[in-house]
A and B are shown apart, each in its own frame.
Chain A
Amino acid sequence: MNKTIDVARYEYLHHVANKRFWLSLIGVPLGFILIFVASMVLSFLSFDTRPVGIVDNANLIQIEPDNTQKSTIFDTQIHLYVYPDESAARAAASADEIQGFAVIPEDYASRFELTYWTNKQPGNDVQSAIANFISRNLMVAENIDSAVLKRVNEGSAVSLQSLDGSQTSDGTGWHRIIVPVVIGMLNFIVVMSSGGYLLKALVEEKENRTIEIMLTSVPSREIMAGKIVGNLGVGLTQIAAWIILLGIAGFLFRDRLGFLADINLSGSYLAISVALMILSFLFTAALMATIGAAMTSTEESQGIIGLMVLPMMFPFYFFTVFLNSPNGILARVLSFIPLSAPLALSLRMAFSSVSPLEIAGVFVVIISFSLLMFWLAGVVFKRGMLQYSKRLSLKEIFSKETRNA
């Protein structure tokens, strides 16, 4: 047991002290931030935030447009200018002072149709700015109370509840998607980075022949356990560092992130997600150890990692299937496959109600697969790690000699 700790400590410190770890620790969130900022800036720049003109031929306008709020990168505001007639609005449009103008016809009250003059397709923000402005004026004309007016503009809050009462959601939807996606991405990063470190460490020890000295100092199961614990620690350190960074960012930008308060994560949801993530890592670690012991070089093993990414990403590929049919056959099957289970079950639990019995079944299946993979890793490890120049074939892996090695 002591040597397991020694191996784990070495693996952990070896990777954490490495420049690659810090580059990845800083580079991944920085990359996400850069992509996010770039997409926000591009999106902001692509929006036409110039004002829009209104020509009221129906004498509908009772209140002036509210042009006090300014556009930001997070929230575009389209200001509305009221013009006395169509020719004035057209002149302003020609002078590029406005991007277009809406003409409210005299018979608007009976037909509810208007014409928008422009040389380019207006965005949704333009259409909703005009529609909201007209609605407010129509309601003022009917003497509707301003509080009611505000409620109508805000719309209704829909709350969703599963039939058995186990799942609730406020129905606004966006965080129902974002939370499992974030959990899936974190799981993917932890499993792939930690598993990748583990695979690299094993293949390198085989390439540089240190494994033979290791095996005459530490029993193979303690080597394996130490490497898994050490590399899982590396992955969890990454996640912890990112969570701390997110926390700092959240604190610094707390005024702009009020919408995060909508996220209401249950303790059981988080516990199940984290437990699945760790189980998935253990399975992947054993799988990587098996591959590492059977392969002869780092390059060879990299190709196999590429193949492992596919099943992990299946729930992302079939995202709409999960959204529309979270308890369908495909979603259920992917919940029972160790590599795809963390994301699949996380998505299903977010979009629907998954019975405790089924969740327990997923755990039983993944634990069984993990134990099987650990057994296989153990037998392949002893035989394959000392076969330096030749890849262990599938036939050799399952041979009697390998089991007895």
Chain B
Amino acid sequence: MSTIIVDKIAKSFGATQAVKDVSFEVRPGEIFGLLGPNGSGKTTSIRIILDIYQPDSGSVTILDGPMTNDKLNHIGYIPEERGLYQDVPLDRCLTYLATLKGLTEEQIKERLPKYLAKFDLTDHAKKKSKELSKGMQQKAQLIAALIHDPEIIIIDEPFSALDPVNTQLVKDLLLEQRNAGKTIVMCTHQMNQVEQLCDRLVLIDHGQVLLQGELSEIRDRFRTNEVIIDALNPLPEQINGVSKIEQLNDAYRLTPQEGLSAHDLLNQLVAQGIELNSFEVAVPTLDEIFIRVVKEGNGFHE
């Protein structure tokens, strides 16, 4: 049974159709990527899932039913627009937010110091949020989202404004949570992070689903017969069996002629005396798939 089922939700604000017939499912224990360009309807979809907005039509099933007050305690959420009470000491702010997630005073006293230590914030617990760096505030947000040990973690643009060290920390944390059986919805447009973390994804643009499925399956679907080679010497302008040669930074992308397999192409190159350092079948990056799908605006549905 899926943890979250979004079924044909639609939402408009005035003349703007923010989301239209969006459907997808998030399975237990996976990292699910909710992708799309800015203004594509990702945040509206998240807010509908979280019951902040009521959809004009369609429905959301979460943890086997509609959203309830009790279920809010089982969700950890980090919105894109990060925020903490600026004039309040960090520990008091986190205590309050944890209280709102249903934790008792004793539970908070037991858990908060551990999380502060884990995120290297113990020495900053008494500082006001406004005195903390942006990275520290991000980490504090993560504590607020995790301290109540939620079943579902929804995180909007998890890596925005993070330095490489903190980016790695968040990545490790998300993987750790997934390994602990938590369901994670990651809303982003940073495709390299999605490639490293997500099991499945949905791509939304202009409020509509353009693409969804498992990451490996999507890659296969967009795979071509192109190859990337690293040659020891410059390539001749014409190579038998190759219809197009494109120079990359320190390699070449070769498009074989119709009906020629990668294996046949390799044989052709060797036969023509081209010395190779490496030869690999080109797999489209998620970035390339993203750009292609969004530009074309076609539906490549599962």
Question: Could you tell me which A residues sit within 8 Å of B by CB distance?
Answer: 3, 6-7, 10, 14, 204-205, 208-219, 382, 386, 388, 396, 399, 401, 404-405
Of the A-B pairs whose beta carbons lie under 8 Å apart in the complex, a sample of 7, sorted by A's number, is: A208-B85, A211-B83, A212-B83, A213-B83, A382-B52, A399-B14, A405-B54
- Would B100 and A209 count as touching, CB distance under 8 A? no
B residues within 8 A CB of A10?
96, 99
A residues within 8 A CB of B47?
386
Determine whether B75 belongs to the interface, using a CB cutoff of 8 Å to chain A. yes
A residues within 8 A CB of B144?
213
Alpha-carbon separation in the docked complex, A210 to B86 (Å):
10
Q: Which of B52-82 contact A (CB under 8 A)?
A: 52-54, 56, 69, 72-73, 75, 77, 79, 81-82
Given A213-B79, A213-B97, answer yes or no on A208-B86 (Cβ-Cβ < 8 Å).
yes
- Would A215 and B81 count as touching, CB distance under 8 A? no
Closest residue to A212 on the B side, CB-wise? B79
Determine whether B274 belongs to the interface, using a CB cutoff of 8 Å to chain A. no
Q: How many of chain B's residues touch chain A, expressed as a range?
A: 20 to 34
Determine whether B235 belongs to the interface, using a CB cutoff of 8 Å to chain A. no
For A6, give its contact among B73, B79, B100 (CB under 8 Å).
B100
Chain B contact residues: helix, strand, loop or mixed: loop
Alpha-carbon separation in the docked complex, A386 to B77 (Å):
15
Alpha-carbon separation in the docked complex, A205 to B75 (Å):
20
Determine whether B227 belongs to the interface, using a CB cutoff of 8 Å to chain A. no
For B72, give its contact among A204, A205, A216 (CB under 8 Å).
A216
> Closest CB-CB distance, A392 to chain B, in whole Å?
11
17 further A-B contacts with Cβ under 8 Å, apart from A209-B83, A404-B54, are: A6-B100, A14-B88, A209-B79, A211-B83, A213-B77, A213-B79, A213-B97, A213-B144, A215-B50, A216-B52, A216-B72, A382-B53, A386-B52, A388-B81, A401-B12, A401-B14, A404-B56
Closest residue to A1 on the B side, CB-wise? B69
List the count of A-B residue pairs having beta carbons below 8 Å apart.
66
Determine whether B84 belongs to the interface, using a CB cutoff of 8 Å to chain A. yes
Of all A-B residue pairs in the complex, the 7 with the closest CB atoms, nearest first, are: A209-B83, A217-B100, A209-B81, A212-B79, A208-B83, A216-B77, A210-B83
For A7, give its contact among B82, B83, B100 (CB under 8 Å).
B100
Closest residue to A404 on the B side, CB-wise? B54
A residues within 8 A CB of B73?
217
B residues within 8 A CB of A216?
50, 52, 72, 75, 77
Closest residue to B15 on the A side, CB-wise? A401
Q: Which of B91-133 contact A (CB under 8 A)?
A: 96-97, 99-101
For B53, give its contact among A7, A213, A396, A405 (CB under 8 Å).
A405
- Would B12 and A208 count as touching, CB distance under 8 A? no
Closest residue to B97 on the A side, CB-wise? A213
Alpha-carbon separation in the docked complex, A396 to B82 (Å):
25
Alpha-carbon separation in the docked complex, A356 to B43 (Å):
54
> Closest CB-CB distance, B246 to chain A, in whole Å?
42
- Would B50 and A210 count as touching, CB distance under 8 A? no
For B100, give its contact among A3, A14, A205 (CB under 8 Å).
A3
B residues within 8 A CB of A213?
77, 79, 83, 97, 144
Alpha-carbon separation in the docked complex, A214 to B77 (Å):
10
- Would A218 and B72 count as touching, CB distance under 8 A? yes
Q: Which of B236-258 contact A (CB under 8 A)?
A: none
- Would B101 and A217 count as touching, CB distance under 8 A? yes
Closest residue to A6 on the B side, CB-wise? B99
- Would A210 and B85 count as touching, CB distance under 8 A? yes
